[in-house]
Amino acid sequence: MKKQNPFRYFKTSPEEIRVAVMMYIRFPLSLRNVEDLLHERGIDICHESVRYWWSRFGPMFAREIRKNRIRPAPGYSNWRWHLDEVFVKINGELHYLWRAVDHEGEVLEVFVTKRRDRKAAFKFLRKAMKRYGQPHVIVTDKLRSYRAALDVMESGRRQETGRWKNNRAENSHLPFRRREHAMLRFRLRQTLQKFSSVHSSIHNHFNHERHLTSRISFKNQRNAAIAEWRQLCAA
């Protein structure tokens, strides 16, 4: 069966849609900032088009990125997860954004809940393990909800806690925090869940840890990532 073109009902070219979605998700820009920057490149669109495109195509792009990512083989003995949670306000009401990051800085899963008790931690861990399997070690802070949830899953012996051990997960919140401030926060829980999932996948795609590689290697990796991005959801 031939794969249908997801851009078939749009007058704007797929290349322009991909550029708009990448700019809005990847960088701390407002909808109108993206509209102005694209106008300078000769692309005349409305900022509401950018809002519609990221909502429609963002999850589609994120799904294809996740499908193409290389994952460790089952039973990989050195796979470490770092878990952390931060508060996010939605219409003045406090919510929690849970995040799982592996030892290489890859964002594995994000999950939004109203509480950070054992039940919420259990849902988050079950969702992550259903997609990726069991890690060898799970590094967390000293929030007792993690221990209670892991005991229910009979994985308590995998947990590690300690000062500075979880910096990997805590630092992974920074790109999303910068993006959140540019968006002037969120109004719906569903929007937060959708955006954070899309943002994490696109961040993984373009995150090359440039401080650990040479300039030449970084340029090659960046060119490869952009080339792959231009082929996402191609007919």
Any idea what the Cα angle at residue 126 is, between residues 155 and 153, rounded to 5°?
25
Specify burial of residue 109 (Cβ count, 10 A radius: 0-12, 13-18, 19+): buried
Evaluate whether 166 touches 139 at the Cβ level (below 8 Å): yes
Virtual torsion, Cα 63, 67, 71, 74, nearest 10 deg: 110
192: which residues sit within 8 A by CB, 6+ positions away? Answer: 88, 90, 95, 97, 112, 186
What pLDDT does residue 79 have?
82
3 pLDDT band (50/70/90 cuts)?
confident
pLDDT digits (tens, 9 = 90+) for 222-232: 999 999 999 98
pLDDT digits (tens, 9 = 90+) for 99-116: 999 988 899 999 999 999
Specify burial of residue 125 (Cβ count, 10 A radius: 0-12, 13-18, 19+): buried
What pLDDT does residue 154 have?
85
Evaluate whether 90 touches 192 at the Cβ level (below 8 Å): yes
What pLDDT does residue 141 have?
92
Evaluate whether 186 touches 180 at the Cβ level (below 8 Å): yes
Instruction: Locate CATH 3.30.420.10 in the chain.
Output: 80-187
Q: Which fold has domain 80-187?
A: Nucleotidyltransferase; domain 5 (3.30.420)
* 164: helix, strand or coil: coil
What pLDDT does residue 72 have?
64
Inter-helix orientation angle 14-26/31-40, to 10°? 130
- Please report the beta strands in 63-106, taking only residues with DSSP state E, as ranges in sequence order: 80-90, 93-102
Phi/psi of residue 36, nearest 5 degrees: -65, -40
Specify burial of residue 126 (Cβ count, 10 A radius: 0-12, 13-18, 19+): middle
Greatest distance between any 2 Cα atoms in the chain = 57
Q: Is the pLDDT of residue 22 over 70?
A: yes
Question: Residue 115 and residue 39: Cα distance in Å, rounded?
Answer: 43
What pLDDT does residue 148 have?
94
What pLDDT does residue 8 have?
87
What pLDDT does residue 2 have?
66
Evaluate whether 17 touches 25 at the Cβ level (below 8 Å): no
What pLDDT does residue 134 have?
86
pLDDT digits (tens, 9 = 90+) for 179-233: 998 888 898 999 999 999 999 999 999 998 877 888 999 999 999 999 999 998 8
pLDDT digits (tens, 9 = 90+) for 122-181: 999 999 999 888 888 999 999 999 999 999 988 878 899 987 888 989 999 999 999 998
Evaluate whether 58 touches 25 at the Cβ level (below 8 Å): yes
What pLDDT does residue 1 have?
59
pLDDT digits (tens, 9 = 90+) for 62-90: 999 998 876 665 556 568 999 999 999 99
121 pLDDT band (50/70/90 cuts)?
very high
Q: Read off the pTM.
A: 0.90
